[in-house]
Structure 1
Amino acid sequence: MDGVGIAEASGTFTVAAMIWALTIALAYLVSWAAIPHLLLQHKRPLASLSWLLGLFLLPFPVLPLYLFIGTDRLRRQRLARRPPPDHHGEPVTVTSEKDPCMASLAALAEHPWAKLENPRFFSKGAAFYEDLLEKIESARERIWIQFYIWKPDERGRLMLARLVQAARRGVEVRLLVDELGSVETKESFFKPLREAGGHFSWFYTVHPRRNRFFFSLRNHRKIACFDGAVGYIGGMNVGLEYEGKDRETGEWLDLHLRGEGTVLEQLETVFAEDWYFATTERIRVRAGSGADVGGGFPALVVESGPDERYERNHLALGAVIGAARERLDLFTPYFIPTTELIHHLALAALRGLRVRLVICQTSDIRMLIDIGRSYYRGLIMHGVEIFEYTAGVHHAKALRMDEDWFMIGSTNLDVRSLRLNFEANLYGRDAGFRAELDPHLDSIFEHCERIRPEDLEDLPLGRRLREGALRLLAPIL
C-alpha cells in the first residue's frame, strides 16, 4: 500500500474511532441521566441497586432493558379510574374482633365481604369454554369480558363469533384484552365485534398519545360478567392450549371459578375500572348486579396493580398465611418469590403447620424454573414441602387453608404478579364448597414429584452456578 492509501486508511480509522468513542460517551451520559429517574421510583433497595450498577457500568444492554421493563409504577390518581359503584344486597359484616384475617383482607380490598352463591369450578379448558359459550348465548343485557391472552386460533375465533352474534341481537358487549399478553393477535382480528355494535379495546399500558410507555406492565386478570347475574374469575385465557390441544404444551390443568351473588358487583367494579383506564369511558355497575337471593357464603375480590397504594394481593397472601392454624397448600405455575413470601412460608412451617407448595415442572421460559428451584433448599430446611407437577402444564393459581378458606385467581407466586401486574383474586370461606374443591386439589398431588433434601445434595456444579446466577435477576424480573 502506498503512502496515500495508508493515510486514507488511517484517516478513515480515526473517524470511525471518534464516532465509536462519541457513541459510547453518549450512551453513558444517557444511561447516567436515567439514574435520578430510578431513584425517584422508590423501588426495593436490592432492585434499585441492581439497576443502578447496570446503568452505571453497562449502559448498552441495561439502558434499553430499563426503559422497557424498569419503569413499573403508574403515575395517576387511583380514584380517577374508579367509577363509584352502587352496593346492593346485604354484605357479610366482619369486625376485627370476630375474625382479624377477614377484617385485614376487607381493609386491603377497601370493600366489605360479600356473598358467593352457586359456585362451580373448572379445571379443564373444554368445560370452561362450553359453560362460557352458554352464558354468551343466553345473555340478554350485557357481557363484560377481559382476558390477558386471546389467541387468534380456532378457540379464539369461535368465542369471538359468539360475541359478535350477541352484539347483533342487541346485547351490550365489551371485550378488554391485554395487548402485550396477546401480542400475536392483531387488532383487526376483533374488527367484526366493532362492526356488529360491540366494543373492543386493548388495555393500553403502552399508548404514546396518553404518555404511557409501561412496557413491563400487564393486565393479567381473567374476568367475565353476564347480565349482572353471573361472573367468572380465575387463571384461564382463551386459546386451544388451555384445552390441552396444543402439541407443544400438551395436557393443561388450570382453575377458574363461576359464581353468583353480591360478590359479582366487585367483579364488575374491577372491569369498570379497567375499562375506564383503557378507554376513558365511564361505565356504571348497574343496579341489581349480583342480587342477594339468599344463601351463599363470604367471599371477597382482592384486586392489585402498580397504581394502588398497597401491594394488595401480596399483603393479603401474607395475612392468610399468618392466620393459618393447621395446613396450607399453595398452587402456582411460576415461583419467583419475594423475600416477604419466603419468610411467611418459613414461619408457617416452623410453627407446626403443614405447608405444601405445588409448582409446575415445565415452563415456556426455562430460566424461570431455574430461578424458582434456587429457593427450594432454604424452604425445605424450614419444613416447607415442595412438589413439582409432572403431568403436563399446571397453570392454576390457588390456595387452600385449614378447613374452609380458599383462593382462586390470576396471581402467580412471583415478583411480577405480586408487585407489578394488574391481578384479581377471589377469597372465600365455606366448608361445603371446599368439600367439592378438595378432591380435585388432592388429585394434583398424585401427579407430582416431591422434592426432598437428598435431591438437592451433590447437584452438578453447572446447575448450581446457573441457578445462582439467574437468581440475581429475580429482583428486577
Structure 2
Amino acid sequence: MYTLFLHSLLVTAFTIRILARDGLLPSTRMAWFMVILTLPFIGSALYFLFGEVDLGHKANQQQRRIFAIVHKYAHQVIAPPQDIDTLVDLQFQPAFRYTRSVNGFAPRDGNRAELMADAQTARTRLIEDIDAAAETVHILYYIWLEDTTGTNTARALIRAAKRGVTCRAMVDGLGSRAFVKSPLWKEMAEAGVQLAIALPIDRPIRTILTSRLDLRNHRKITVIDGKITYCGSQNCADPEFRVKPKYAPWVDIVLRMEGPIVAQNQMLFASDWLKETDTQIEEFQIETQPVENGFVAQALGDGPTERLRASPQLFVTLIETARRELVITTPYFVPDPTVIEALCAAAYRDVRVTLIVPKNNDSWIVAAASRSFYRKLLEAGAHIYEYRDGLLHAKTLTIDGQVVFMGSSNMDIRSFDLNYENDVLIQDQKITQAVCERQNEYISCSDSVTLEDVVGWSVQQRIWHNVVATLGPVL
C-alpha cells in the first residue's frame, strides 16, 4: 500500500511539473511521461537529474549580465554593424538575420579563411601562431587530452607565457576532467598561463541539486592577438583519440580565419571567461580588423542560457534557403521533428539533400536513433552516406556552393538544448567550395545507404531504432 501511494505521488507530482513547463516539445513531454509511468522511481530520479535544461536562476542572471557587459564594451570599440541588405545575397538574408538575433552579432565583410588540410596541419599552424603571438592567446576546448597534440599545445602556451604573452586557457570541467588533474595543467599554471574551468564538477552533489551535470561547454575557440581565430570541430586531442581508440581516427575540419569574425569569437571567449574569473572586460582585445576583399561572416554562440530552441530554428532557416544542394556532415544526427521535416521538405522540392554520418558511432544510442530517421529521409529523396574510415567528427552544412555553416554544433538534442556551442556562418564561394570538396572526400570514403537497404532491415532492428528514437529526448 505504501509503495502504491508513493508511486501515485511521484507520478502525479512529476506529471504536473512536466505539464506546467512552457516551451517543451510534445515529443519530449510524451517521452518523459512514458519513462515516469513505466518506471516511476527510476524515471522520477532521471527527471530530477536530467529533465530540466537549466543552469539555475543565478547562472542565468550572471550570463545575461556578463553578455550585456561584453556587448556594451564591444559596441564602444568596434565599428557599427553594416546593412545585411547590402552585404548578403537575398537568398541567404533570412539565415544571417536569424543568426544575428541569437547573440546580436551582425554579419561583417572583410573576412578571410583558410581550410586546414588535416588535423596535423591545423595543429601545426595553430602552434606556429601561438609561437608568433605578441600580446594574447585565448584557448577554450571541451576536450583537452594529455597526448601529443594536447602536450604540444600546452608547451606552446608555456613558451608564450614565459616571453610575456598573456595566455588564457579554459576547458570544460567534464570533458577535460583528467587533464585538469594532470601535471601538465599544473605546469601551465606555474609558467604563468591563466587557467579556468568552465562548468566545474568539483562539487558534483551541489551541481546535481542545483543544475544538470551534463550541461557542458562544448566550444572550441582559439583567438591569437585579437587577429587570428580558429573555428571547427577539432578538440585539443590526437586523431587517434586515446580515450576511445576503437572508433579512431577522429576526422575533423578546421578553419583559420582573420577579420571582424575574430572580434566576435573573442566576445564569446570573454563571456565564458568572465563567468569563471575576476577578469575585467577591458583586458580583452575586441577590435574590428577587416582584410581587403574579404567575405561576409558572422559568429554564433548558443547554449542553455541563450534563447530556447535557437539552434534548431537556425538549422530550419538554413535548410529552407537551399535551392539546389544541401550537404550536411555530423557525427551525431538526432534532430527534432522540425529539422527532419525541413530536410524532407527540401528534398521534396528538388533540392539535392545529402547527409554524411559515421558508420561506426561511438554512441550506440545515437547510432540507433539516427537510423530511425533514414527511411523518412530516403523516401523524400535524400541521399545518406555512412563514413567508413573512422569517426567523422566534422560538423558542416553547405548550401548551393555559396554558404557554409560550421563549428562545434552537432545536429542533435545535446547541441540544440544542452551544450554551449560556437559556429560561424560564411557567404563565400571559394571557401564554401573548399568545404564542399572536403565533403566529397568524405563521401568517397563512405557507403551509400539506399531505401532498399533500410526496407531490408529486420523487424527487430526497426523496433530497436524506433524505441531509442522515441526515448531520445530523455537520453
Q: After TM superposition, is the score higher than 0.5?
A: yes
C-alpha spacing 1:41/1:282, structure 2 compared with 1 (3 Å): farther
C-alpha spacing 1:299/1:140, structure 2 compared with 1 (3 Å): same
- 50, 53, 70: which one pairs with 1:69? 50
Q: Which residue of 2 aligns with 1:191?
A: 186
Further displaced range: 329-338 or 361-370 = 361-370
Distance 2:264 2:402 in 1: 21
| 1:349 partner SS | helix
- 2, 6, 27: which one pairs with 1:46? 27
Unaligned runs of 5+ residues in structure 1 are 1-20
C-alpha spacing 1:285/1:311, structure 2 compared with 1 (3 Å): farther
C-alpha spacing 1:337/1:159, structure 2 compared with 1 (3 Å): same
Distance 2:194 2:4 in 1: 48
Unaligned runs of 5+ residues in structure 2 are none
8 Å contact kept, 1:263–1:299: yes
Give the aligned residue type for 2:358.
Answer: C
Q: Which residue of 2 aligns with 1:161?
A: 155
8 Å contact kept, 1:86–1:285: no
Percent sequence identity is 28
Instruction: Tell me how many residue pairs correspond in the alignment.
Output: 457
Q: Which residue of 2 aligns with 1:279?
A: 277
Give the aligned residue type for 1:466.
Answer: W
Alignment of 1:66-215 (within 5 A): 66-74=47-55, 75=57, 76-77=60-61, 78-82=63-67, 83-84=70-71, 85-87=73-75, 88-89=78-79, 91-95=81-85, 99=90, 100-101=93-94, 102-115=96-109, 117-122=111-116, 124-189=118-183, 190-204=185-199, 206=201, 212-215=210-213
Deviations 1:283-342 (A, max 9, x none): 347456341232210001111111112433322211111111111111111111110001
Give the aligned residue type for 1:121.
Answer: L
8 Å contact kept, 1:142–1:173: yes
Distance 1:381 1:31 in 2: 39
| Superposed displacement of residue 61, structure 1 | 2.2
TM-score between the two structures when normalised by the length of structure 1: 0.88
Give the aligned residue type for 1:475.
Answer: P
| 1:63 partner SS | helix
Give the aligned residue type for 2:101.
Answer: A
Distance 1:194 1:28 in 2: 53
- 384, 396, 414: which one pairs with 2:394? 396
Larger Rg: 1
C-alpha spacing 1:276/1:47, structure 2 compared with 1 (3 Å): same
| Superposed displacement of residue 45, structure 1 | 2.4
Q: Which residue of 2 aligns with 1:422?
A: 420
Deviations 1:391-427 (A, max 9, x none): 2221100011013111111111111112221111101
| 2:246 partner SS | coil
The answer to whether residue 342 in structure 2 is matched with residue 352 in structure 1 is no
| Superposed displacement of residue 262, structure 1 | 0.8
Distance 2:143 2:79 in 1: 33
| 1:295 partner SS | coil
The answer to whether residue 451 in structure 2 is matched with residue 461 in structure 1 is no
| 1:469 partner SS | helix
Further displaced range: 174-183 or 23-32 = 23-32
Q: Which residue of 2 aligns with 1:475?
A: 473
Further displaced range: 306-315 or 259-268 = 306-315
- 49, 53, 60: which one pairs with 2:41? 60
C-alpha spacing 1:396/1:307, structure 2 compared with 1 (3 Å): same
Distance 1:244 1:185 in 2: 13
- 228, 231, 241: which one pairs with 1:230? 228
| Superposed displacement of residue 241, structure 1 | 3.0
| Superposed displacement of residue 86, structure 1 | 2.1
8 Å contact kept, 1:397–1:409: yes
C-alpha spacing 1:284/1:70, structure 2 compared with 1 (3 Å): farther
